[in-house]
């Protein structure tokens, strides 16, 4: 009898060990694709290398991707963007992880404080400023035809004096496929003449790089200094002929007021309003998504701007792996759909203009967002036709609609 009891106890213990092992495996499955670079050796896929290495990172579960661009699925689909009780470990801004060459030195010591702290390093309270929701200048909008859009885009392209396409060398190397794990392009895609970065609007764009946290599951807030940098950027682009004619066209169609201040407020709202891309965490904006890029679990979303992509290549954080499609827009610009790795995570397919100015891209995306929301918007540059796909994001409490994503399609 004693021997039988001992045998039964052994069987029970073995069953418990087997169950526990399976339970752990079910909670934290080893990913099959790329994982985060991390100092957390026990669960490297749960802790971004640039986040706090002393706390566990628990990614927000997201819906399956709609397409290879993984643009709209990275939004929460219009859910409330109010912060919930979840308290993720404090993130680190782009200034340390993404663009160290653009770190700002000043009263805060050059690095943005943790997003979880309501005060900065000098004890000053962080701003809770929220820009006004976009409001149409008129309910009597005039229908915008496809022909008007293609004609307007060509006109703006001719006026884009800050275009620097002639100062960029493209090294396409090999064509690849979106699901490839092989690097078909051992050399960088972009070689940019430093003179191109002296453009006033590009310089203003680069000043914003250290204002954001790359991981959209970390809470973000905004300081008065950062708000001023956003305002300065908008002022720079609004001083251009491209944006002046954009305002005139949209005013004629009843989408905006024919007033520079009011137009700036609308741009500020649709591009810089912070919202959630999942879990109720306020950690994203249209500008950050399109003109920088975001990391979410094991996914790269956004990153559609050549200036930022060139910056990441130069700092060895972006690895161009080959192109999927390319379209020559004459001597001034190009359209590319590329396969690349950023922060050790592969993005299957991402599209971007190359050589265009920030104001040109803001203008085209804004026009398409207002005239063809959640649709493909027909445009033409250098005699070549293509489209821009936009997605809207409806803020809760009827605070209006802003840009969820926008990128070129061809």
Name the residues annotated as catalytic: 289, 304, 347
Integer Cα distance of 10 and 17 in angstroms: 11
CA distances from 193 to 56, 98, 164 (A): 41, 21, 9
Assess contact for 285 and 152: CB atoms under 8 A.
no
Alpha carbon dihedral 158, 333, 260, 104, in 10-degree steps, equals -150
Integer Cα distance of 132 and 128 in angstroms: 13
Please give the biggest Cα pair distance in the chain: 95
Residue with tokens 């905004």: 222
CA distances from 338 to 310, 323, 355 (A): 13, 4, 16
Integer Cα distance of 314 and 358 in angstroms: 19
Helix then strand count (H, E) for the chain reads 10, 12
Integer Cα distance of 175 and 337 in angstroms: 10
Paired tokens of 128? 């809770």
Paired tokens of 36? 């985060």
CA-nearest of 209, 203, 135, 187 to 370 is 135
Residue 336, beta-bridge partner list: 326, 352
Integer Cα distance of 314 and 298 in angstroms: 23
Integer Cα distance of 266 and 293 in angstroms: 22
Assess contact for 46 and 88: CB atoms under 8 A.
no
Assess contact for 211 and 232: CB atoms under 8 A.
no
Paired tokens of 305? 């701007």
Paired tokens of 161? 């004096």
Assess contact for 72 and 404: CB atoms under 8 A.
yes
């Amino acid at each position: 009898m004693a021997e039988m009891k001992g045998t039964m106890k052994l069987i029970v213990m073995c069953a418990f060990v087997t169950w526990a092992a399976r339970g752990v495996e079910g909670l934290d499955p080893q990913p099959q694709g790329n994982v985060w670079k991390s100092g957390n050796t026990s669960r490297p896929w749960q802790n971004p290398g640039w986040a706090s290495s002393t706390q566990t990172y628990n990614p927000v579960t997201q819906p399956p991707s709609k397409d290879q661009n993984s643009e709209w699925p990275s939004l929460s689909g219009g859910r409330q963007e109010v912060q919930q009780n979840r308290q993720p470990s404090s993130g680190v801004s782009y200034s340390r992880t993404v663009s160290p060459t653009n770190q700002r030195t000043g009263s805060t010591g050059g690095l943005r404080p943790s997003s979880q702290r309501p005060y900065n390093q000098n004890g000053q309270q962080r701003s809770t400023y929220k820009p006004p929701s976009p409001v149409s200048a008129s309910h009597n909008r005039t229908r915008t035809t496809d022909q008007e859009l293609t004609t307007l885009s060509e006109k703006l392209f001719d006026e884009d004096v800050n275009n620097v396409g002639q100062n960029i060398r493209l090294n396409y190397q090999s064509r690849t496929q979106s699901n490839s794990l092989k690097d078909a392009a051992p050399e960088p895609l972009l070689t940019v003449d430093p003179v191109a970065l002296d453009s006033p609007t590009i310089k203003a764009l680069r000043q914003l790089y250290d204002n954001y946290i790359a991981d959209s599951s970390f809470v973000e807030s905004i300081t008065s200094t950062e708000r001023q940098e956003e305002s300065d950027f908008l002022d720079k682009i609004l001083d251009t002929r491209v944006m002046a004619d954009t305002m005139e066209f949209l005013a004629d169609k009843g989408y905006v007021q024919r007033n520079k201040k009011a137009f700036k407020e609308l741009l500020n709202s649709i591009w810089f309003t912070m919202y959630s891309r999942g879990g109720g965490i306020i950690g994203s904006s249209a500008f950050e998504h399109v003109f920088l890029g975001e990391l979410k679990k094991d996914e790269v979303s956004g990153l559609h701007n050549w200036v930022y992509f060139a910056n990441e290549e130069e700092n060895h954080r972006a690895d161009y792996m080959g192109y999927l499609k390319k379209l020559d827009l004459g001597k001034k610009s190009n359209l590319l759909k590329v396969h690349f790795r950023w922060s050790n995570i592969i993005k299957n397919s991402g599209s971007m203009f190359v050589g265009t100015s920030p104001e040109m891209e803001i203008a085209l995306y804004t026009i398409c967002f207002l005239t063809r929301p959640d649709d493909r918007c027909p445009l033409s540059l250098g005699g070549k036709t293509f489209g821009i796909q936009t997605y809207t994001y409806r803020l809760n409490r009827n605070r209006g609609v802003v840009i969820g994503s926008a990128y070129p399609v061809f």
